[in-house]
């Protein structure tokens, strides 16, 4: 039976704008007939991948890029014992096709891969060892490398070598506010210290605040397959992801809003199926002073009903900063570190 770890968090952010659309406006979604503030799954996954919490817990994080020359320079720095020409030959034969572009004004030439792909110094080092041992360069495109954890979790599509495609072991939802969102506009000025009056710049930016519901589901069996590990060996990475969903937030506009917040409520379930609890908020929670407490109760109540109605094989453990929960179907803990996955 497949094991799924379902992560549910409720996190309150004051004035912030962590995710914008192509027009620079606050991302939103209509849910239950009302407008909610939204943080995309891609935005949250990147914030987690680049976070100190995640980087301290894994051996290596992939480098996602289409910039050939910049990747080459990085590899030369990280692999000083290898001849630069060999590194270049490896990159030219490792993955996507490389295109050369010429700047019309400066005539400077730059090289780019034809697609953004995740690369890993470890895999490049392995390819170098293979070539030095006699493998032909043209054979590298067919070589399958064990992916880094972030690729094992989030997946990879490689058109140049379909056998290197990785099905994502983790599904991440777009975070939504549990209540109707009021998108506000900040009218700001940048003062000119050498001007007698007026400002050097006037502008506007949208922002909002609210309690966000975050959800992710990890297929532990698929993660084990992707990473070539046993399920028992995955405890640390799964527990790290749980911690990241509770503590990591996107960095956009943080210098302006400083919405550095952690989750007030974290619930993790171990089950035989993925299960989102977003419908607990289909009817928007009233945005009053107790919006977090009411959101927590609504989430737990919805979970309890689903477990009974569908006779789910699900075990839940929760961490509640507000002391709002009283449920026989939850094991409550006092510290986030007490929420752990053990196969």
Domain boundaries, the chain: 4-60+170-181+207-338, 63-146
- pLDDT tens-digit profile of 133-148? 999 998 888 888 889 9
Contact 205, 186 (CB under 8 A): yes
Instruction: Indicate whether this model's pTM tops 0.85.
Output: yes
- pLDDT tens-digit profile of 231-285? 999 999 999 999 999 999 999 989 889 999 999 999 999 999 999 999 999 999 9
Distance set, CA 147 to CA 18, 38, 114, 161 (Å):
29, 30, 21, 14
- Parallel, antiparallel or unpaired: strands 109-119 and 63-67: antiparallel
- CA terminus-to-terminus distance, the chain: 13
Half-sphere exposure of 66 (CA within 13 A, CB side): 12
- Extract the runs of DSSP E, i.e. beta strands, from the chain: 4-16, 28-31, 34-39, 63-67, 98-102, 109-119, 170-172, 175-177, 184-190, 201-219, 265-271, 314-320, 330-333
pLDDT of amino acid 339: 93
How many helices (H) and strands (E) in the chain? 10, 13
Q: How far apart are CA 278 and CA 304, in angstroms?
A: 14
- DSSP 8-state assignment for residue 329: T
- pLDDT tens-digit profile of 182-202? 999 988 888 888 888 878 888
Confidence label for 47 from pLDDT (cuts 50, 70 and 90): very high
Q: Using the structure block, give the residue that is written with the tokens 């990785």.
A: 166
Mean pLDDT of the chain: 93
């Amino acid at each position: 039976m497949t094991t799924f770890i379902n992560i549910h968090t409720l996190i309150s952010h004051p004035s912030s704008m962590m995710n914008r659309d192509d027009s620079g406006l606050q991302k939103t979604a209509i849910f239950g007939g009302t407008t909610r503030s939204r943080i995309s799954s891609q935005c949250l996954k990147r914030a987690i991948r680049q976070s100190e919490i995640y980087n301290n817990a894994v051996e290596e994080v992939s480098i996602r890029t289409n910039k050939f020359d910049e990747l080459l320079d990085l590899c030369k720095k990280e692999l000083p014992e290898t001849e630069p020409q060999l590194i270049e030959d490896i990159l030219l034969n490792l993955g996507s096709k490389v295109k050369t572009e010429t700047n019309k004004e400066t005539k400077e030439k730059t090289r780019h891969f034809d697609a953004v792909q995740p690369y890993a110094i470890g895999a490049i080092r392995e390819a170098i060892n293979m070539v030095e041992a006699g493998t032909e360069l043209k054979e590298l495109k067919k070589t399958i490398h064990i992916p880094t954890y972030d690729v094992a979790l989030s997946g990879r599509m490689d058109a140049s070598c379909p056998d290197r495609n990785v099905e994502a072991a983790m599904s991440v939802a777009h975070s939504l506010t549990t209540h109707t969102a009021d998108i506000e506009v900040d009218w700001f000025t940048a003062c000119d210290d050498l001007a007698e009056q007026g400002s050097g710049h006037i502008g506007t930016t949208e922002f909002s605040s609210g309690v966000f519901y975050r959800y992710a589901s990890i297929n532990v069996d698929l993660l084990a397959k992707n990473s070539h590990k046993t399920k028992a060996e995955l405890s640390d990475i799964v527990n790290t992801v749980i911690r990241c969903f509770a503590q990591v937030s996107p960095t956009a506009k943080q210098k302006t809003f400083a919405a550095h917040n952690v989750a007030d409520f974290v619930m993790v379930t171990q089950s035989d199926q993925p299960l989102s609890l977003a419908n607990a908020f289909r009817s928007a929670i009233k945005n009053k002073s107790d919006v977090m407490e009411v959101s927590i109760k609504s989430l737990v109540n919805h979970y309890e009903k689903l477990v009974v109605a569908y006779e789910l094989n699900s075990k839940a453990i929760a961490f509640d900063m507000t002391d709002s929960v009283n449920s026989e179907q939850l094991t409550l803990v006092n510290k986030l570190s007490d929420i752990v996955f053990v196969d």
